[in-house]
Structure 1
Amino acid sequence: MTPFAAGVIASLVGAIVGALVGGAVSWLLNRQLHVQQLERLRTQYKTEFAAEDTARHFLGHKGYTDRSFDLLRKHLGGFEDDELRRILVRAGAVRTYRDDGSEWWRLLSRMDEYIDLKSGRRRDG
């Protein structure tokens, strides 16, 4: 092998090793940045996630398919009305109005149960 060929091979191997090391370092740094951003978002929206869980808890109570907006506002304090409505929608709730104009919410997943109760049918099990 000529000295020129050995130099070319050494340069090629050096370039490949450099690219692999640089790529690995770049991948690790991007991965760490992604983990930090995800944790920051979880912390930032922790209140909203907790509010959704609380709304599901109240709306999922066995004895009541519907809850008044006033009751939900009372128990989920600290939110403006429109913000609370968005939280309820994210939790899977739908809004209805009673004849007196009051606002009520129920989980969409409990709609069949609500219809059965209104029609006088009872679901067993």
Structure 2
Amino acid sequence: MSPAWGTAIGALITAAVAFSVGRMTATTARERLHAEMRTEFMVREAINQLLQHKEWTRRSFGIIKYHIRGFTDDELRKLLVSAGAVAFDGRKVVDGERTEYWGLRTRNSHLLGYTAVDESKLRTVNDVAEHPDGDREPQQDISGSSS
């Protein structure tokens, strides 16, 4: 066998190994991206289910955060926006802050010009909230009366 054939065979083997490694890397990257997209898709579906409830057109950020866990506040806000939600502030100030509400743009387009929403006009949900003492009890509605 001449040295030229040896060099050619070596180059072919190197190319085949590089192709195989590249293909495995691309497959792994594609699978990872698919898993990430599946997670994002499932979160968007859960957000839409919360915000499309027939009785509540807006939900407080706290309730959304309670049901959609595993994300920082800012990550969750980005997911809300990507799901078609818009934010509203409540008029009441509690502990120096207004309650943050989120609703689907399609269900709240009539409010887009307002800077704050009236909490008394919201329907409330009888969700279960975790209390600091560990007990679970119905969430109080935003007007302060028990559900």
TM range (shorter): 0.5 to 0.7
More helix by share: 1
Structure 2 runs not aligned, ≥5 long: 1-21, 93-97, 111-147
Does residue 80 of structure 1 match 2:56? no
Amino acid corresponding to residue 99 of structure 1 in structure 2: R
Residue 78 (structure 1) shift: 1.2
Say what the alpha-carbon RMSD is for the aligned residues: 3.7
Does 2:51 correspond to 1:54? Answer: no
**Unaligned residue ranges in structure 1 (runs of 5+):** 1-29, 117-125
- CA distance in 2 between counterparts of 1:98 and 1:54 reads 23
Calculate percent identity across the aligned residue pairs.
Answer: 37
C-alpha distance after superposition, 1:47-86 (max 9, x if no partner): 2221111001100111111011000000001111011101
Mean Cα deviation higher: 36-45 or 87-96: 36-45
Structure 1 counterpart of 2:86 = 94
Whichever structure has more strand as a proportion of its residues is: 2
Task: Tell me whether 1:107 sits opposite 2:104 in the alignment.
Answer: yes
Q: Which of 1 and 2 has higher RCO (CA within 8 Å, sep 6+)?
A: 1
**Structure 1 residue 38: Cα displacement:** 3.4
Normalised TM-score (structure 1): 0.58
Q: Provide the rounded CA distance (Å) in 2 between the counterparts of 1:79 and 1:33.
A: 28
SS in 2 for 1:41: helix
TM-fit CA distance, 1:42:
1.1
CA distance in 2, matches of 1:80, 1:37: 25
How many residue pairs were aligned?
A: 107
**1:45, CA displacement in angstroms?**
3.3
**Normalized against structure 2, the TM-score is what?**
0.50
What is the distance in 1 between the residues matched to 2:25 and 2:61?
Answer: 41
The one-letter code matched in structure 1 to 2:67 is H
How far does the alpha carbon of each residue in 1:12-71 deviate from its partner, in whole angstroms, 9 at most, with x for none?
A: xxxxxxxxxxxxxxxxxx999866643331113332221111001100111111011000
